């Protein structure tokens, strides 16, 4: 990640915005590289606003920061050897954009589907909006064929998206 520093003649306000963007970027990196792989749902609750809005929720995901904890728990319990790569990270003012890749083995149930034991690679670009140092909103755009709903390793053998479809 490249971190910019304010120009020597930057206003204090501009320097503060830049410092906030850098802190937000580091928080997003920490979530993907430490918090989700550890399955630390309690830490997640503290990093998101109580009324967090996920514009692209998983099926069955509750609202608010409990929804963020649900996503972390779902990803962690569904995959062994869970690894995230932060491929790109851009922070400006109250927004952080991250392009990430998840790799692991599908060893636990996910979205109503039993474990397949197959390798999984999910990829997305996510935009986070921050408020008061916490994540307030999320938008996600999944790479085709690499979302939890469409990944071949997570699709039932009969081609349905859940057992019995």
Burial class (CB in 10 A: 0-12, 13-18, 19+), 81: exposed
The full set of domain ranges for the chain reads 12-154
Provide the pLDDT for residue 98. Answer: 97
**HSE of 86 in the Cβ direction (CA atoms, 13 Å)?**
19
Provide the pLDDT for residue 155. Answer: 57
Rounded to 5 degrees, φ, ψ at 138 are -145, 135
Q: What is the CATH number of domain 12-154?
A: 3.10.450.50
Q: Which residues of the chain have pLDDT under 70?
A: 1-20, 144-165
CA distance 84 to 123: 9
| pLDDT tens digits along 32-53 | 999 999 999 999 999 999 999 9
CA distance 8 to 18: 13
CB 54 within 8 A of CB 61: yes
Provide the pLDDT for residue 16. Answer: 56
pTM assigned to the model: 0.80
């Amino acid at each position: 990640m490249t971190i910019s520093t304010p120009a020597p003649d930057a206003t204090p306000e501009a320097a503060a915005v830049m410092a906030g963007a850098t802190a937000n970027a580091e928080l997003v990196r920490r979530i993907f590289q430490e918090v989700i792989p550890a399955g630390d749902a309690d830490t997640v609750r503290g990093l998101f606003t109580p009324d967090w809005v996920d514009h692209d929720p998983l099926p069955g995901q509750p609202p608010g920061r409990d929804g963020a904890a649900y996503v972390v728990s779902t990803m962690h319990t569904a995959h062994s050897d869970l690894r995230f790569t932060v491929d790109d990270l851009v922070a400006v003012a109250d927004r952080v954009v991250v392009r990430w890749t998840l790799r692991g083995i599908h060893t636990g149930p996910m979205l109503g589907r039993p474990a397949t034991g197959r390798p999984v690679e999910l990829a997305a670009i996510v935009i986070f909006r921050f408020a008061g140092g916490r994540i307030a909103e999320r938008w996600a755009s999944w790479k085709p064929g690499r979302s939890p709903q469409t990944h071949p390793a997570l699709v039932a053998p009969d081609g349905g998206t859940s057992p019995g479809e």
